[in-house]
Chain A
Amino acid sequence: MMNQEKMMKTAKALDTLFRIARKIALIALIVLAIAVVTVTIVHFVNPEATIGTDFSSLDVGPVTFSVTPEAAPSNRQVLALVWIVFLFAAGCGLILYDILGRAGKILDPMKEGNPFHPTVANNIRRIGILILVLDLVQQVTDFALSLYANHFIREMLPADASVFIESNFQLSLTGVLVFFILLLVSYVFQYGAQLQQLSDETL
C-alpha cells in the first residue's frame, strides 16, 4: 500500500510537470510562429531591413560558417532558411506536444492507483513511435540542412575560393534504442493489464 501511495503521489507531481511543459511548448511554438511571421512581414514592407544582427557568423542547422560582411547572404536567402528551419521546428514541436499529452494520459490511471490499464501500454508504445519519428526527422533534417548549407555557401562564394566547411552532423541511434526499450515496457504493461483484468474478474 505504501508503494501505491508513493506511485500516486509521484504520478500527480509528474502530471503537473507535464502540464506545465505542455503549456510552455505551446507558448514557445506560438511565439516562434509570431516571430517568423513578423520577420516575413517586415521583410516585405522594408526589403532593405537587416534580418538579425550579425551575419558574419551564421548557424544553419548542423553547420556553422563565417563569411565576410560583403559576402553575407541576402535577406531573401536568410528568410527562406528561416522558414525551412521554422517548419521543421514546428513539426518537431507538435510531436513533442503530443508526446507530453500522451505522457499525461499514462499518468491518469496511475494517479488513481491502477498502473495496469490498457491505455497505459498503448500510450507508451505510441510515445516510443513518436520519439523514433522525432529522432529520424531531426537526423534527416540535420543531414539535409548540412547538404543544403554546403551548397548554399559554395554558391555564395566566388568559384575559385578555397573554403572549408565544418559539418557538425552526427548519426545517433539513441532514438532507435529508446523506441525498443519503450516497446518492451509497453509489452510489460500490456501483460500487467491482462493480469489486472483477470484479478478484477476473480471473486
Chain B
Amino acid sequence: MPIILRLDRMMADRKMSLNELSERVGVANVNLSKLKNGHVSAIRFSTLEAICDVLDCQPGDILEYKRDE
C-alpha cells in the first residue's frame, strides 16, 4: 500500500514506548503493533485524533504517501 505509517519514528522522537502509547490512546497493544507495521487497511479519524493528541503531532507527521514504482 502506498500509505506508510511513520508511527515508530514519532514514538522515538517523543521517547514513548508502544505500551505507554497503547495505554494513553486506549487501543490494544496488539492492534497498535499492527498499525505500526502497516498490517491494517484503514484507520478511523477518532483513532488518528487520539494518537495525534498523545504524540502532540499532525496526521501528516505519522502518515506518508509513497508512489508505487
Chain A residues packing against B (C-beta within 8 Å): 198, 201-203
**Shortest distance between the CB of B11 and any CB in chain A (Å):** 16
A144 to chain B, nearest CB (A): 54
- Give CA–CA (A202, B40) in the complex, Å: 6
Complex: A203 Cα to B5 Cα, angstroms: 13
Number of interface residues of B (CB under 8 A): 11
CB nearest neighbor in A for B35: A203
* Chain A residues with CB below 8 A from B32, complex form: 203
Instruction: Provide 13 A-B residue pairs closer than 8 Å at the C-beta atoms, listed in order of the A residue.
Output: A201-B40, A201-B41, A201-B42, A202-B41, A202-B42, A202-B44, A203-B27, A203-B32, A203-B34, A203-B35, A203-B40, A203-B42, A203-B47
Q: Which chain A residues lie closer than 8 Å to B27 at the CB level? A: 203
Interfacial chain B residues near A202, Cβ < 8 Å: 40-44
B44 — which chain A residues lie within 8 A by C-beta? 202-203
Chain A proximity of B29: nearest CB distance (Å): 12
Bound CA–CA A55/B34 (angstroms): 74
Contacts of A201 in B (CB 8 A): 40-42
Kindly state whether residue B37 has any CB partner on chain A within 8 Å.
Answer: no
Asked if B58 is at the interface (CB within 8 A of a chain A CB), the reply is no
Name 5 extra pairs, CB < 8 A, besides A201-B41, A202-B40, A203-B35: A201-B42, A203-B27, A203-B34, A203-B43, A203-B47
**Is the CB of B31 closer than 8 A to any CB of chain A?**
yes
Residues of chain A with a CB closer than 8 A to B43's CB: 202-203
A116 to chain B, nearest CB (A): 16
* Assembly CA distance A115 to B40 (angstroms): 22
Q: Which of A198, A201, A202, A203 has the most CB of B within 10 A?
A: A203
A146 CA to B16 CA, complexed, in Å: 81
Q: Name the residue of chain A whose CB is nearest to the CB of B31.
A: A203
User: With the chains together, A203 CA to B47 CA distance in Å?
Assistant: 7
Counting chain A CB atoms within 10 Å of each CB, the highest count among B27, B31, B41 belongs to B41
C-alpha gap A201/B34 in the complex (Å): 9
Q: How far is the CA of A202 from the CA of B41 in the complex (A)?
A: 6
Quote the shortest CB–CB distance from B48 to chain A (angstroms).
9
CB-CB under 8 A from B34, the residues of chain A are 203
| B24 → A minimal CB distance (Å) | 15
Q: Which of chain B's residues has its CB closest to A197's CB?
A: B41
State in angstroms the CA–CA spacing of A201 and B39 once bound together: 8
